Amino acid sequence: MTSELKVELGSNSYPIRFESPAITAIQRVIADLADAGRPSALLTDQGVSSAQASFLRQAFGGIPQLTVTQGEKAKSLEVFGEVQEFLATHHISRQGVLWAVGGGVVGDLGGFAAASYLRGIEFFQVPTTLLAMVDSSVGGKTGLNLAAGKNLVGAFHQPRGVFIDTNFLATLPPREFAAGAAEVIKYGLLGDAELFAQLERAPLTPKSGLLAATIRRCCALKARVVAADERELAAEGGRALLNLGHTFGHAIEQVAGYGTYLHGEAVAIGLVAAARLSQKLGSISAAEVGRIEAVIAAHNLPVRLWSPLALKTLLVATARDKKVRAGQTRFVVLTRLGEAVTRSEGIAPAQVEACFREIGAVDSL
């Protein structure tokens, strides 16, 4: 089954193609590029290379391939340098194209490498995880992690196309699928109350009859938000809303050590913290916080830290968040289930500290 959704960004517009399997469509694009004298190169990771060897061989043939280490640690300056050297070694020109095939890490790494190499070449996203399909492959945010914080190095660089093939999810480890479900829950909370209700009725699974439709639903919501605020410049709301749960979640990832929590696991805990902050601000009830925690737990995701983290260190990490403006941390909070806003004023430090404590942070270790 093939369908298409367009991300409307003027000259930067591109299609999201929902095609299972996507092999033939990718082969056709690579052949057309080659006919136009535009070489392709492939970036993937060890997990995808092992689980999807046949797909990679059939779809991409003999184009140059770089396989990087698996996991969040690949989003580093060191691995970024490896990708740049790979592109240069294979004489990829400014007319060349990079294909990023993998989860959010590969997409972020590949996108930033494409944005930087020769001051910018085109790239395509082929997401292989649920998280990448519903979130990170769409919107053009690329980046690397630093010791000081998550995604502190990067660029806005839109892909020329996204190919979503749900067949990949058949080999996705259960923990990775659950991590992707955290982003699906996020979309329900920030802008689609009916999606949240659907997830309450029946948790999303790899065998769910609504899986493909749910992925498309999330992509459509993100496409609308990105089209309205591509570079996250809106004074309030806008693209920053997509960071619901992420201010808390990114701090957890950094302080725990990248790779301790999958991104979606940290976001899940961050969603709980954001819900509790929303309650403290008087926007939602304790019962609604309970409903959010129940949906997260039903998707096999954590609602509290697995082991304590130091509150002071978490607060320092939060203060380095990319959404800080004029020295104030902006949080995304709920006004109701299915609607969110950005907010910096009127949030007391004690409220943020209380939210961290309620998810398992401690004053000292």
Please state, in angstroms and rounded to a whole number, the distance separating the CA atoms of residues 163 and 101. 10
CB-based contacts of 225, cutoff 8 Å, min separation 6 = 191, 238, 239, 241, 242
Residue type at position 338:
G
Torsions phi, psi for 144 (to 5 deg):
-130, 160
6 classed as catalytic = no
299 classed as catalytic = no
Q: Which one of the listed residues 119, 201, 207, 345 is annotated catalytic?
A: 119
150 classed as catalytic = no
194 classed as catalytic = no
75 classed as catalytic = no
Please state, in angstroms and rounded to a whole number, the distance separating the CA atoms of residues 213 and 202. 14
Please state, in angstroms and rounded to a whole number, the distance separating the CA atoms of residues 86 and 365. 43
246 classed as catalytic = yes
280 classed as catalytic = no
Q: Which one of the listed residues 17, 150, 243, 280 is annotated catalytic?
A: 243
Please state, in angstroms and rounded to a whole number, the distance separating the CA atoms of residues 286 and 280. 9
Q: Which one of the listed residues 150, 186, 239, 323 is annotated catalytic?
A: 239
Please state, in angstroms and rounded to a whole number, the distance separating the CA atoms of residues 42 and 128. 14
239 classed as catalytic = yes
Please state, in angstroms and rounded to a whole number, the distance separating the CA atoms of residues 101 and 111. 11
Q: Which one of the listed residues 246, 280, 322, 343 is annotated catalytic?
A: 246
Q: Which one of the listed residues 19, 230, 232, 265 is annotated catalytic?
A: 232
Q: Where are the beta strands (DSSP E) in the chain?
A: 2-7, 14-19, 40-45, 65-68, 97-102, 122-127, 141-146, 149-156, 161-164, 331-336, 339-343
Exposed (0-12), middle (13-18) or buried (19+): which is 9, by Cβ within 10 Å? Answer: middle
Q: Tell me the DSSP string of 84-107.
A: HHHHHHTT--TT-EEEEEESHHHH
Cβ count near 127 (within 10 Å):
28
Q: Which one of the listed residues 141, 280, 322, 330 is annotated catalytic?
A: 141
Q: Which one of the listed residues 75, 150, 217, 263 is annotated catalytic?
A: 263
Q: Would you please indicate which residues are annotated as catalytic (active-site) residues? A: 119, 141, 183, 222, 232, 239, 243, 246, 250, 263
